[in-house]
Amino acid sequence: MENLNWFTNQLSSFENEIWYANQHSRRLQDFRDKLRVKWADNASKELNKRYFNPHEQDLSKMLSQYKAERLNLIEMQSHASAAYEMSEKFLKIP
């Protein structure tokens, strides 16, 4: 049963990480949107092209992977729980 608590802790940790990453991403994008109006020269376009746009794409991929990992963890928890229940039933067989 202790191992099943591990899954719950990991899920909670993943959900926190996803939430924080989303918050940071949203704040960065809001900041970039505010700057776009004031900062629209060639240098800013180059910085966006080289650094900020790839960062936004990488973050999107990372969040997708976090969500996929979370789903895998939920599935593993379900399988572990089923295995635990089967072992409990097996141990009760005379």
Helix (H), strand (E), coil (C) string for the chain: CHHHHHHHHHHHHHHHHHHHHHHHHHHHHHHHHHHHHHCCCHHHHHHHHHHHHHHHHHHHHHHHHHHHHHHHHHHHHHHHHHHHHHHHHHHHCC
Residue extents of the structural domains in the chain: 2-87
Encode the chain (94 residues) as per-residue pLDDT tens digits: 566 788 788 888 888 988 898 898 889 888 888 888 888 788 888 888 888 888 778 888 888 898 898 899 889 888 988 888 888 888 887 6
C-alpha torsion angle, residues 25, 31, 37, 40 (rounded to 10): -70
